[in-house]
Amino acid sequence: MKNPISFLVSFILVFSILNLEAEESFIPDPPSLTAKNYLLIDAYTNKVLAELNAEEKIEPASITKIMTGYVVSDQIKGGFISLDDEVLISEECWRRGGSRMFIQQGTKVSLLDLIKGMVIQSGNDASCAIAEHVAGSEDNFVDLMMRYAEQLGLRNTNFINATGWPDNDHYSSAEDIAKVSSLLINNFPEHYSLYKEKWFTFNDIRQRNRNALLWQDDDIDGLKTGHTESAGYCLVSSGVKNNTRLIAVTLNSSSEKTRLTDNRRLLDYGFRYYRTQKIISRNQSIKEAQVWGGIKEFVGLSPVKDFYLTLPLRDFKKIEPSVILNNHLQAPLEENEVVGKIIFNLGEEEVGSIELMTLEGVEGLGFFGSAWSNIKLLVYRFLREED
């Protein structure tokens, strides 16, 4: 196999960014919080903006229900279950302690109402019923959760139940929680919309969403609270400002009040100093690359998907792009064939990259045409080596 040959190609990108002076960006340290573990990321780029002990294994309490919500959303998307399903409530779920939505044994409740009871009211009984409906039992559902955890790359997570009930072997990390939250938001927006609902009434009992930030800022639309004596006060929240969506995970805060102030200060820090912007779009031709042995001499290159960066606002003006091709492009080429990548640097630091693909296929010239083209390519390579 031939070694890749790198081509650093200068070109002009059209950025949809503010025309700001290229001043040096000064970003202060994150605010001081009572939370013993926290993480602040952009929901789309997963850029880490602030962190403390983010990989430490800790008790997640009811934050666990974010994973329960992710699993049930994916099972619905796969067609295995439906929001309209009527779920028979077992004695086991009816007896479940802790926070509850007050479902009754032997009754049938729609899966949609159970999800609302879990998300809005943090109902352990609702989580239990969801688990039994999806997998037949909570133990089977936990096995499913762990298969998802492995698939999603959750390195510091182990689930014992679907509710977050305390157990020494039940743990996660701020990093893993943020990852699942990001995937839930991006992959299941129709289900994520439930996380911003402030009230839910079931069985004539009206309960408010335990995420008090929903009342403080209309830009915040989720996600979940958690609390036990051993886990402390936990909160995962998300919101959008200036087309930038952030996720803040604060774990083991000292009180219910500081849980809110910790999380809010982390979000305010991120929104004040950072922005996420689309840099280039899929199917946007950013370069014409030479093709050898083809019926066309050049082919347009495009990123494989829309590409975003999260940076301090002034830094967008200073990023420098370069294209690296895997090798000389030789026909035949398929449409959407990955042939290299584009790298973005900020000074000496690489801040992002994305693969490049061909915008169209290119047929070969045939035997004699290809032979002549190969001779020219050999000469071209020889001259470059001489240089």
Determine the Cα–Cα distance for residues 339 and 328; give it in Å rounded to an integer: 9
* Residue 94 in tokens: 């009816």
Kindly report the CA angle at 163 between 159 and 169, in degrees rounded to 5?
30
Residues 120, 143: contact at Cβ < 8 Å? no
Q: Is 173 a catalytic residue?
A: no
Q: Which of 47, 65, 196, 224 is catalytic?
A: 65
Q: H/E element holding 118?
A: helix 111-119
- List Cβ neighbours of 82 (8 Å cut-off, separation of 6 or more): 76, 111
Distances (CA, A) of 123 to 116, 180, 185, 250: 9, 20, 21, 21
Measured between alpha carbons, how far is 28 from 265 in angstroms, rounded to an integer? Answer: 13
Q: Would you call 373 a catalytic residue per the annotation?
A: no
| Catalytic, out of 122, 172, 238, 253 | 122
- Residues contacting residue 168 through CB under 8 Å, at least 6 positions apart: none
Catalytic residue list contains 353: no
Catalytic residue among 62, 73, 127, 238: 62
Catalytic residues: 62, 65, 122
